[in-house]
Structures are given as C-alpha cells and as structure tokens.
Amino acid sequence: MPLSTMQRFIRTCKQANAATCFNAYPPKGRFNMKAVQISDGIYCLPVNLESYQLFEGMWPMPNGISINSYVVQGEKTALIDLIEDINDKPAEFQSELQSIDLTPKSFDYLIINHMEPDHTSWIPTLIKENPAIEIYLTKKAAAVLNSFFSITEHTHIIKDGDTLDLGGGKVLQFFETPNIHWPETMMTFEQSSGTLFSCDAFGAYGTVNDIYFDDQLSKEQHDFFHQEALRYYANIVASFSTFVNKGIARLDDLDIKVIAPSHGIIWRENPKAIIDDYHRFASYMNGPAEKEITLIWASMYGNTAKLVDSIIKGVESEDVPLHVHRVPDEHVGIILASAWKSSGLILGMPTYEYEMFPPMSWVLDMFRRKKLWNKKVLRFGSAGWSGGAQRELDRITEKNKWEFMEPIEWFGAAGQEQHDLAVQRAAELARTIKEG
Ligand SMILES: Cc1cc2nc3c(=O)[nH]c(=O)nc-3n(C[C@H](O)[C@H](O)[C@H](O)COP(=O)(O)O)c2cc1C
Ligand SMILES: [Fe+2]
Ligand SMILES: [Fe+2]
C-alpha cells in the first residue's frame, strides 16, 4: 500500500527526530555542574541553556546548548570566554569556579575570543568583582567591548600570533580568525597542551551534562553531536563559510591535540573529526553538497499537497536520500540543516496574493541570507488564476546560483499530467544529483 502524503510526512518527521535523537539525549532535569578538568591546569566551565529558549532570539534548540568558559592556570590564571548573564547561569558558573577553589577575583587575565553576548554579557559583573583583571582581545573586539559595556581600561590589543606567557609552562597564543562568527573573532591556542579554544568555531547545539569529551560518547551520542554541529553551523555560521575555510587553513601549522569550543563537546580523542565536519559544511556553499534532496512544501487547501506523493515517488525511484519538511509546521532553523547539506531542493508552494505562500517566502529569504548557494532546484505548485509564486522565487533567489528545472505549475487541482510530470522530473533531479 503506498503511503499517503500525511503518513509520509509523519514518518519523515519521526526519522528526522531519530536522526537528531530528540528527547533521547541530553538528559532532562536540573544540571548540577562542576568544572571539568581537561588537562593539568586547564578546565572547562560549561553552563547549559535549556531547550525552551531560542538561540539568538530566533533559533529553536530542542536539545538546548552549552556555553563553555575555560580556565588556564600557570603561575598566572586566565579565563577564556565567559557565560551569558541569563537566568541562574551566573550562580551556576560561580559554583563551578568554587569547585576548583577559584572566585572571580582569582583571575589575572580575561581572554575574549568573541564579543557576542552569549560569551560576554557577564563581563560587567566580573569586572565589578575583579577591576584589575587584564583583558586581551582584538582591536575590533575592543571597539565592541566599549560600545556594549563602556569598558576601555586594562585592555590589551593582540596582533595575530602574539603570545601571553602565564608562567609554569603555559603559553597562550592568539590567532585572528575574523568572521567566525563576528568580524572581531579570534582563537586562543595553549601551546604546552595543544588545546585550541576556538569559541563558536567547531561548536554544536546540545547541552553537556556528565559527558563532556568525544571519547565518552556512545555511537548514538556521537551521531547526535555531529548532527547538532551541522544544525548549529547552518543556523549560525553558514553565511561565513569562506572565512571558515580561511580560519581552518590558518590552523594548519598548529599541533592541535584538543579542540575546546564554546558550545558543545570537547574533542580530544579525535579533534580532526570536528575540523573535518566544519570543512565539509563550509564546502557545501560552493557545492557539491551531499547527494541528497530536501523537499520543502506548503499548501493551504491541499492542491499542492496532492503532488507531494508523486514527487516522493520520483525521488525514491532513484534511491536518493530525501528529507521532507512542511512549512510553516517546521521552523526554518530545522529545515536549514538538511537543505544546507543537500545538493538538490524541491520546493512546493501555491500562489498567494500574486506572490508565493508567505511562510515559504520566509524560508527562502533565510536561504538567501545564509548563502545557501549552488543547488539544483525543482518547483511545483498550484495557483487559482494568475500565478505569481515563480516570479517571487526568481526574485528572492536571484543571487543564489541555483540551477532551476522547468517548474510544474497548474491551476486548481492537479491532473494525471501533473502527477506524471512530478514523478518524472523528481526522478530526473535525483538522477542528476546521483551522477553529479
Ligand atoms: C488568500 C489567497 C490568495 C490567493 N492569491 C492568489 C493569486 O494572487 N493568484 C493566483 O493565481 N491564485 C491565488 N490564490 C489561489 C491559490 O493559489 C489556489 O487556490 C491554489 O490552488 C492553492 O493551492 P493549495 O490548495 O495548495 O493551497 C489565492 C488563494 C488564497 C487562499
Ligand atoms: Fe557567536
Ligand atoms: Fe556563541
């Protein structure tokens, strides 16, 4: 028995959920966090933002996210990146400090890799408690620090490659890595341990609790964090893919033993795994991406929806992996992950007031902003009397370097002709993707 569109939709949602292990991980309940030792004198202090919050005020994070701050102790003590001043997170952070016998006053240096408030909004409190702390950051970060918090004293502008000797064998080295994620971003490398504090780069969604390192992950949890890294990348980092490649190239000469990002798991067993992930994600911008197709569809009264089964049949006839999302039911933040990694897109939407169905327009505008480029695309959709969806699609995606197939458009209810075309063109797209 062939599955109905709705059954397939539900099935695909279940598959998507399994792929991201929604609800299977992370553990629920109160987080009881302690500082985690990475190596001698180096600690991670993570706090978790819960899943009901939206990241950057807009991205759903069904599995939450961690914000990791780091401590490096030589003869002097440095704090690398901070936490967000939100809810009870500062209290959690303070108790993590206590767990390694530190207080905000213990620090000689604050290293700011990135000024986004998820890593800096607690700075004013820190400075109030420790006004003598010396701050190391890039020139652009200093300007942002001033404009956000009116802080200009005790700041030291780093130049690319500069070092800061903490004594006791610990030496921090700074690398400017602009636009991963903001223009002021840098990374910090601790030379004796080979630990790279990469801030947003190599980050992932997903809270951490009890498990902090890649070598503690089960196969399922590994898949979870790689998947969450992709979704984080597609939401937050995608538009800066060119800079990600430059940043990764810049790190080539370093003997990196541990990647310690400011979101998600610490990679010490195989730091290359997450570098390779990011390298691959960045490469999707100029293509080719994976030999997969993402189908995004919308319908008000079911006319466009009726073609979805035929589209799926066409793709499946070529055995090309397919991700299906309906809008507005699913948030663009979730859709972006599969669309970013797919070489092919199929878009189904009706015409609405001489343009396209508005929730689809919002998704496509986000694709434009995130530089979701170089895709092979098929569109289908019903209209009542004039059409207009295609015109808007052409306008929004004008700079996306998309290769369009001839669209399947019709007025009112689809007939056999449209169903046949849907199977045929979806299969043709799938073949092109497979061979590409
Ligand atoms: C609010 C609204 C506005 C519409 N505007 C247009 C339009 O400007 N031009 C057009 O050709 N059809 C327009 N239509 C007709 C739909 O495109 C048509 O009914 C189509 O079959 C809907 O597809 P669906 O069943 O997949 O929602 C409009 C329909 C609605 C409900
Ligand atoms: Fe950021
Ligand atoms: Fe961040």
pLDDT at 24 over 50: no
Q: pLDDT tier at 1 (50, 70, 90 boundaries)?
A: very low
Please give the average per-residue pLDDT across 387-412, as a whole number: 98
Amino acid at 414: A
Looking at the DSSP assignment, which residues form a beta bridge with residue 258? 195
Whether residue 337 is found in the same domain as residue 261:
no
For ligand 1, the distance from its centroid to the CA atom of residue 198, given in whole angstroms, is 48
In the DSSP assignment, the letter for residue 113 is: S
The best mutation among 296, 300, 326, 360 to test binding of ligand 1, ranked by most ligand atoms within 8 Å of the C-beta, falls on 300
Considering 247, 263, 283, which residue would you say is the last residue of a domain?
Answer: 283
Its sign, for the CA torsion 68, 253, 272, 345, is: positive
Atom of ligand 1 nearest to the CA of 300: 27
**What does the block give as tokens for 204?**
């992932």
Q: CB neighbours (10 Å) of residue 134?
A: 16
Q: Would residue 26 count as lying in a domain?
A: no
Whether residue 94 is found in the same domain as residue 193:
yes
Q: pLDDT tier at 33 (50, 70, 90 boundaries)?
A: confident
Mean pLDDT of the chain: 93
Whether residue 279 is found in the same domain as residue 294:
no
Whether residue 236 is found in the same domain as residue 328:
no
Please give the average per-residue pLDDT across 411-426, as a whole number: 98
Higher pLDDT pick, 354 / 7:
354
Per-residue pLDDT of 170-201, as tens digits, reads 999 999 999 999 999 999 999 999 999 999 99
pLDDT for the residue numbered 256: 98
Considering 232, 257, 283, which residue would you say is the last residue of a domain?
Answer: 283
Whether residue 264 is found in the same domain as residue 323:
no
Per-residue pLDDT of 334-377, as tens digits, reads 999 999 999 999 999 999 999 999 999 999 999 999 999 999 99
User: Are β-strands 163-167 and 155-157 bridged in parallel, bridged antiparallel, or unpaired?
Assistant: unpaired
Whether residue 198 is found in the same domain as residue 97:
yes
Whether residue 248 is found in the same domain as residue 164:
yes
Atom of ligand 1 nearest to the CA of 298: 26
Looking at the DSSP assignment, which residues form a beta bridge with residue 410? 382
Per-residue pLDDT of 81-137, as tens digits, reads 999 999 999 999 999 999 999 999 999 999 999 999 999 999 999 999 999 999 999
Distance CA 266, CA 259 (A): 6
User: Are β-strands 59-60 and 170-176 bridged in parallel, bridged antiparallel, or unpaired?
Assistant: unpaired
Whether residue 307 is found in the same domain as residue 411:
yes
pLDDT at 21 over 80: no
Whether residue 51 is found in the same domain as residue 119:
yes
Per-residue pLDDT of 250-278, as tens digits, reads 999 999 999 999 999 999 999 999 999 99
Q: Is 412's C-beta closer than 6 angstroms to any atom of ligand 1? A: yes
pLDDT for the residue numbered 30: 54
Whether residue 98 is found in the same domain as residue 225:
yes
User: Are β-strands 408-411 and 195-199 bridged in parallel, bridged antiparallel, or unpaired?
Assistant: unpaired
CATH value at residue 14: 3.40.50.360
CB burial of 345-378 (b: ≥16 within 10 Å; e: otherwise) equals bbbbbbbbeebbbebbbebbebbbebbbbbbbbb
Q: Give the total residue count for the chain.
A: 436
Whether residue 323 is found in the same domain as residue 274:
no
Q: Would residue 160 count as lying in a domain?
A: yes
Structural domain span for residue 62: 31-283
Q: Would residue 142 count as lying in a domain?
A: yes
Higher pLDDT pick, 51 / 182:
182
Q: CB neighbours (10 Å) of residue 421?
A: 20
Q: Would residue 276 count as lying in a domain?
A: yes
Whether residue 238 is found in the same domain as residue 308:
no
CATH value at residue 263: 3.60.15.10
3-state secondary structure of 291: strand
Total domains in the chain come to 2
Q: Would residue 24 count as lying in a domain?
A: no
pLDDT for the residue numbered 210: 87
